[in-house]
Amino acid sequence: MSVIFESNIKVNEDGSWYIELIDTSDGESIICNSTDEYEKKYEELSEPYGGMVDEVKWTKSDNLRPDHFDEIRLWMAELQRKADEVEQAHKDQQTAQQQADQGMPL
């Protein structure tokens, strides 16, 4: 079964943004008012799946201000960079382990 989250960027009545994080498998919905809160809640929501989420579907409200969207977009790019680094480190570790198992020098 695929684990899919939805992240919907919305606008409060006061004009500030928030992200509604939804676990589509059980419908649990969490409101996050900052990027830090989103990261924390994402980790908590993904714990039952061993932290492994197959996909995050992003949407945004039509009335989201461009500067707010840019702020979130830049944050998302930084998250992706960090995730890529972790993935590469994991691949490097697997390669080193395979070489060690085959008796090849590291």
Element (H, E) at 42: helix 35-46
User: Is 102 part of a structural domain of the chain?
Assistant: no
CA geometry: angle 98, 86, 7, nearest 5 deg:
135
Q: Domain limits at 16? A: 4-95
User: Is 76 part of a structural domain of the chain?
Assistant: yes
User: Is 15 part of a structural domain of the chain?
Assistant: yes
19-28, 45-54, 91-100: least confidently modelled range = 91-100
Number of domains in the chain: 1
pLDDT tens, residue by residue, 36-79: 999 999 999 999 999 889 999 999 999 999 999 999 999 989 98
pLDDT at 35: 93
User: Is 101 part of a structural domain of the chain?
Assistant: no
User: Is 39 part of a structural domain of the chain?
Assistant: yes
pTM score of the predicted model? 0.78
Q: Is the pLDDT of residue 106 over 70?
A: no
User: Is 80 part of a structural domain of the chain?
Assistant: yes
